[in-house]
Amino acid sequence: MALLKKKDTAEYRIPSLAEASPKFAALVQKRADLHALQSKLNGELRDVQKQIDAAGDKGPRVSPRIAELLGDEADSAPMLGKQATDIRAKLADVEIAIEILDVG
């Protein structure tokens, strides 16, 4: 009856596209990196927005040079606003890059 016994064969496994194509694997990694950067930038934007909200409305905003001439502390809100604008611009760029990878 030895003829009817089946041979043990190794399980056949089809590799994923990322395993088969280094180019595709690099794109998958790039996409993951962009999503991580997007998450980091969103966190930074939330932190800056909290700082802006905490600063509140302390009257009219003046530039740091004018505040120095008046003997007042420089208002951090304009600098925080610029920082928030810069982060939003980076976020927009990252979102466009992710869209390009998703479509391509």
pLDDT of 35-60, one tens digit each? 999 999 999 999 999 988 887 766 66
Residue with tokens 């809100």: 77
Q: How much is the pTM?
A: 0.70
Give residues with Cβ within 8 angstroms of 30, minimum separation 6. 101
75 found inside a domain: yes
Distance CA 63, CA 79 (A): 10
CB 79 within 8 A of CB 87: no
Residue with tokens 């927005």: 49
Q: What is the mean pLDDT of the chain?
A: 86
Q: Which domain holds residue 97?
A: 61-104
Domains of the chain: total: 1
What pLDDT is attached to residue 12?
87
What pLDDT is attached to residue 54?
83
15 found inside a domain: no
81 found inside a domain: yes
